[in-house]
Amino acid sequence: MGLLGRYRGIKTLLWPRQGERLIPAVSGVLLALSFPPLHILIPPFVGLVPFALWMQRCPPDHEGRRAVVRGSIVFGAIYFGIVFYWILVALIWFTPLAVLAFLSALLALIGIAALFGWIFHRAVHTVGAPLWLALPIAWTAAEWTRAHLPSTIAFPWLGLGTSLTGFPELVGIAELVGSRGVTFWLALVNGLLASLVLGFVEGTSLRRRLGLITTIVVVVLGPMQWGIWRATTLETREIATVAVVQPNVPEHIKLDTRAGIDSTLISLQREMPRIPPGTVDLVVMPEVTLSIFPAWEMHSDWVYPISEWAGYVRAPILMGGLGYEGDLTNGDYTPFNSAFLINAEGVTDYQYDKRYLVPFVERVPFLPVEWFDAFRYFGGDGVGKG
């Protein structure tokens, strides 16, 4: 009974109530529409506006802060659920535990969203920071936090600053301020627009509203104009020609390791002759092109065809495969999701081991990797050191 009472207490505290769902959900959808492959220009600049307006109208006391946290849970569930859907869709082929991985990751991300809402409300209603400033600070801090979480639960992917990749000329300021700086800029525009809407709703003076409009125009167009100028005046030169080759083997075939290797090599026999010898400087193949250990002598026969193709096109091949640490012969090893550089002579000394792993599927946070040896495609990958 005590356990049931605690559950009801947590549900009462965290379960969104009437008036705490719709507007945060709208913001979540709008912001999710900001990212590729859609490449829509407007959502990154307005996606947070509905949430900011709703937060501003919440009571300034503890109850208001709890309401904002509950609304942030709705916002986070929808926004991150859409943006990181690929964790489930891409990995469900490999293991049904991908469902657990997706839900666990989503829960962590919802926690970040709730933290953002709590900080945002406190900054505006307790500290007295202006909404237009509190929003970009709180949002950028939340993005930085999720990108720097400990162990392998960090989510550095798909920050707001990467939402305008379809319009590279407009985000030339990334050269100066980086992705996180672009995030701050976009959130600042959202905050200024929300403040302008509030000004109209609350009937602030015409002078104040005109000042806000002028500020918005300058803040939006200033960085854009600099980026356009930079793009038109930047001297460019060709550094290298890179060919990207995708064997495109269906996942259900790749799940059978031997069939996947054979199908990939057959696909490469069709694709590689399309590259005229001597016309490229590098060939890039996808993550885990072959589910083999290229640096292990026992798998050299499977590396040989790749070396042959490198000799044919007269360029090295960057290929995804499996790295390892330990002893493969007795099974006492830790696998890595790695990239290898292969030339006509074979595997070179270059090897990159993936550092930012998909939480739970590639590495279960905090727990020893040996605990998951019995699970295929779940939690057993090592974390690269560089």
For residues 193 and 333, membership in a common domain is answered with no
Domain holding 147, by residue range, is 2-233
For residues 184 and 286, membership in a common domain is answered with no
pLDDT tops 60 at residue 34? yes
Radius of gyration of the chain measured on its C-alpha atoms:
25
Among 210, 233, 256, where does a domain finish?
A: 233
For residues 164 and 248, membership in a common domain is answered with no
For residues 140 and 220, membership in a common domain is answered with yes
For residues 185 and 267, membership in a common domain is answered with no
Portion of the chain with pLDDT greater than 70, in percent: 89
52 near 191, Cβ under 8 Å?
yes
- Count structural domains, the chain: 2
For residues 256 and 339, membership in a common domain is answered with yes
For residues 297 and 226, membership in a common domain is answered with no
CATH classification at residue 264: 3.60.110.10
pTM: 0.85
Q: Is 199 contained in some domain?
A: yes
- Record the tokens describing residue 225, joined without a space: 């104009």
pLDDT value for 381: 60
- DSSP string for residues in 62-87: HHHHHHHHHHHHHHHHHHHHHHTTHH
For residues 246 and 227, membership in a common domain is answered with no
Among 169, 201, 233, where does a domain finish?
A: 233
Condensed to tens digits (0 to 9), the pLDDT of residues 216-264 reads 999 999 999 999 999 999 888 899 999 999 998 988 898 888 999 999 9
Pairing of strands 282-284, 242-244: parallel
pLDDT value for 30: 96
Condensed to tens digits (0 to 9), the pLDDT of residues 219-231 reads 999 999 999 999 9
Q: Is 358 contained in some domain?
A: no
For residues 248 and 222, membership in a common domain is answered with no
For residues 161 and 81, membership in a common domain is answered with yes
Helix locations, the chain, DSSP H = 2-14, 22-32, 43-46, 49-57, 62-83, 86-91, 98-122, 131-147, 174-202, 206-233, 251-254, 257-271, 300-313
For residues 15 and 146, membership in a common domain is answered with yes
Among 186, 202, 233, where does a domain finish?
A: 233
